[in-house]
Structure 1
């Protein structure tokens, strides 16, 4: 029931209360829907971070990634049996991995990922020391170079 005055219209307090009640109930009904939408959006964004980057789009540039120590035949040829750790470090550089549980082992790792993603080159060379002196070399080396180095190590 409305009371009309010349300048403004006022509503009965009960009519106003019903109107507010309807607005509140519709807001309550939308709250679970908003929560559901926000949750689905968060899950979609989270799952997109786990995607595989193997999608090959034409014209997409992918940079080559080179990590680790590049060790060539000449560097390995300079190693000798009984060589001190500091001399080995000078020739090959700082090892990529120093195992705290095996202080006598140094690992040199080299990884090269091509930009296309098809070619990956991985090399690992492990050096073993006893009393801070070089004793043995293992890993992905040319068999000829490995034989030559280990032969020189055993001869001395």
Structure 2
């Protein structure tokens, strides 16, 4: 009888340990999921902030002029540009492009909820990658850094597959 009680006690302790472990894993999963949603919401709020909406319009208007990026960036980086409006437009375009790079880097490190981000940013990422590509290619060339905005590019390609 003593042997049976010891076995039952062992089974009970083992079951308690498994339930405890399962609870810890579940809480860890829920916490991670909550963090990814919260981080995703942060990017969405930032993208929809008044400052970013204004920046989007300014960059859209600037890109619509189809600037000669290679020429402009070469002069800008050589500190030969005297047009302050053009300088500001370059900086705004760079800041806007950096937003998508940050978003893509966060996604690469799995700190965002992928489906949520795709639903909100999928179209914007694809549209802005294509619109900003001449700027990005010229900036890469001017800086001699072929991998600038690489995460943005990777997310674009991933989202294009996701769209299909």
Which bracket does the TM-score occupy, shorter chain normalised? 0.3 to 0.5
More strand, by proportion: 1
Q: Which has the higher contact order (CA 8 A, sep 6+)?
A: 2
TM-score by length of 1: 0.36
| Structure of greater Rg | 1
